[in-house]
Amino acid sequence: MSSQLDEFFKFLVAKVKEKEDLKKLLEDWVGPYDGKILQVHTEAGAQYMVITKDDMKIFDGVYPSPDCIYKASSETLLGIFTGEVPFKDTMKDGRLEVIGNAHESDPLANLILAALMGAM
What are the residue boundaries of the structural domains of the chain, listed by start? 3-115
DSSP 95: S
Beginning with the edge strand found earlier in the chain, give each strand of the sheet holding 68-71 in spatial order. 55-60, 45-52, 36-42, 68-71, 97-100
Query: How many other CB atoms are found less than 10 A from the CB of residue 120?
Result: 4
Query: Is 120's pLDDT higher than 60?
Result: no
Q: Render pLDDT for 37-52 as a digit per residue (tens, 0 to 9).
A: 999 999 999 999 999 9
Q: What's the pLDDT at 15?
A: 93
Question: Would you tell me which CATH number, out of the four given (3.90.1570.10, 3.50.50.100, 3.30.1050.10, 3.40.50.970), belongs to the domain 3-115?
Answer: 3.30.1050.10
Query: Global pTM?
Result: 0.89
